Amino acid sequence: MNQVLTSELQAWACTLARQIGRKVPAFPSKRQRHLLVVHLDGVPKALLDEAVQTGSMPFLSRLVRSGTYHLERAFWGSPASTPFFQAGLLYGIEHPNLPAYSWFDRELGRKVQMNTPKDALHIEQRLWRSSETSLLAGGGHTYFSLFHAGARNRLCMSTLASLKVMARSLSSEMEGLFVARTENPWRYLRSLGADSLRAMQDIWRWARALGDWRHEHGFLLSRVMLQRLGWSFAHTKALVDMVRGVPAIYLVFGNFDEVAHRRGPRSAQAIAELHRVDAYLAELYAMGRAVEHPYDVVLLTDHGHVGSLPFEKRQGQHLEDMLLRGAPVPLAADVERGLLDGRAPGAARAPRGTDSPVVMECGNFAHVYLTREHTPLEAAELVAHHREVLARASRHPDIGIVALRRGNSAVALVKGQVFGPDEVANAPLAGEFCRRAVADYLRELPHLRTAGDMVLFGEAVEPGATVGFAWEFGSHGGLTRTETCSTICWPSEAPVDLSGLSHCVRLHQRLSEAYRA
């Protein structure tokens, strides 16, 4: 441990643990091993690798370079988004039917967003009906996750849907908070004020340079309320939980993801968030070693981020206008033959639900709903009744992949050719794309019943960047190597091997076997 923690940090953790222990009751738990999962939302593995090599995240670098921790790549399945990942990690659901962070839900008949508490609650209830287990059941706590997942506390997106629930849990959420503070209150307030001022200056410069203020007011609120106040609260509560002996803690650090969307994943602001979290990780690890029942601290990412070049900025119009109201474009004969796959052109059913199409711009990918019915369209129906939309999507230079259902499976249109999951190796994809992820997405698409009739992925037009359909400058959910290569980092002495993971459900299974006994 001396290779990783300084004597000062060890002494700080032991002193704080004694202070907290005198003020808060112990948590009744009979588990042999305790677990803290720190989820670094959206951080690309390449950035963490660089931080380890250069020492720009000094604590993480010491953990890995000393051999105290293993750091490896992981593949969690498709799509590369937080709802899909958390459904697998927390509930153990392999096919949760969560196509993005926001989508048009066929069952509800409306758009849903996971940062809307009532939507998160509805999806959580749907997940509970599909699952018989939860990583946090039996007394676990969660901070800033989307879903409650049987946790004993109430600090997640879905529980914000009920003010009564939040009010009832307020006293327990405040327990031990003040005795565990790690910074002088006045110094913290001065730091918060200085950070808020810098955030306002940054927003002013950014919005003026772009001539566009959308999202900036919400981004300022996020920087102050979520990234500083929210994370400080969650970090402090995790310290209290470890002293109490809460058996499993799931802590989501969303700062990097928030900044990367608005400024880009390699912006100075995004890199600063990695430096900030490194110091917090050191404190969490030190406390996990100082308490009576030590914690195994597991670090992970759910996906990466790539730079995003907005379609609207490049083309001067929204994706929806191009797809639904653009100039007539013929459908290539090779595309039609590949999509029909030997079927007669007239084999498709009669047109259904063709009114009020919906285009959901989800980042560097988009879901296109040409029908609002519960059953999505498949290739023959698109060829028969939506030829022009299909042709515009397949021919546009800013769209790298069009994924759609063909019969009971799915295929991808890439540069005027049709490829099934087992043929992706031969597709003329840009080098930024991950062929494994493209094939995995095609296998998953038939299970994503509420995904669009077509799913469009922005072309990789620059190294480390793709076209984005939403107005943002860092995106995820697409199929590039950066987005789909995730990170798992765990203690060498832990009673579990987390190498070679190929789906987030495998992570759920291994952690459950090791820590729920």
Helix, coil or strand: residue 310 = strand
Closest CA to 57 of 282, 303, 250: 282
Parallel, antiparallel or unpaired: strands 417-419 and 409-414: antiparallel
In angstroms, the Cα distances linking 258 to 197, 220, 227, 273, 488 are: 18, 11, 8, 10, 21
State the CATH architecture for 7-299.
Answer: 3-Layer(aba) Sandwich (3.40)
Helix, coil or strand: residue 156 = strand
Neighbours of 344 (CB within 10 A): 8
Q: Is 35 exposed, middle or buried (0-12, 13-18, 19+ CB in 10 A)?
A: buried
- Taking the CA atoms of residue 252, residue 256, residue 258 and residue 260 in that order, the dihedral angle to the nearest 10 degrees is -150
Q: Which H or E element spans position 273?
A: helix 268-290
The domains of the chain are located at 7-299, 309-475
DSSP 500: S
- Long-range CB contacts (within 8 A, 24+) of 147-150: 147/86, 147/87, 147/90, 147/91, 147/120, 147/123, 148/124, 149/86, 149/90, 149/91, 149/124, 149/250
* Cα torsion angle, 192, 269, 216, 302, sign: negative
In angstroms, the Cα distances linking 482 to 101, 185, 340, 381, 438 are: 18, 39, 33, 34, 13
Q: Which H or E element spans position 401?
A: strand 399-406
Task: Return all residues near 455 (Cβ < 8 A) that are at least 6 apart.
Answer: 99, 365, 366, 367, 368, 402, 403, 404, 445
Show the tokens assigned to 40: 């670094």
AA identity, residue 91: Y
Could you tell me the pTM of the whole model? 0.93
> Do the Cβ atoms of 103 and 450 come closer than 8 Å?
yes
Span between the terminal Cα atoms of the chain, in Å: 26
Task: Tell me the DSSP string of 439-478.
Answer: HHHHHHGGG-TTS-SEEEEE---BTTEEEESSS-SEE-SS
Spell out a b/e string for 91-106, using b for 16 or more CB atoms within 10 Å of the CB, else e: bbbbbbbbbbbbbbbb
Spell out a b/e string for 272-306, using b for 16 or more CB atoms within 10 Å of the CB, else e: ebbebbbebbbbbbbbbbbbebebbbbbbbbbbbb
DSSP 192: H
Q: Can you give the pLDDT of all 517 residues of the chain as single tens digits? A: 457 999 999 999 999 999 999 989 898 888 878 999 999 999 999 999 999 999 999 999 999 999 999 999 999 999 999 999 999 999 999 999 999 999 999 999 999 999 999 999 999 999 999 887 899 998 999 999 999 999 999 889 988 877 677 666 666 677 766 676 666 666 766 766 777 777 777 778 877 788 777 777 777 666 666 666 778 889 999 999 999 999 999 999 999 999 999 999 999 999 999 999 999 999 999 999 999 999 999 999 999 999 999 999 999 999 999 999 999 999 999 999 999 998 887 666 777 766 789 999 999 999 999 998 889 999 999 999 999 999 999 999 999 999 999 999 999 999 999 999 999 999 999 999 999 999 999 999 999 999 999 999 999 999 999 999 999 999 999 999 999 999 999 999 999 999 999 999 999 999 999 998 7
Q: Which H or E element spans position 368?
A: strand 365-369
- Long-range CB contacts (within 8 A, 24+) of 107-112: 107/374, 107/450, 109/372, 111/358, 111/360
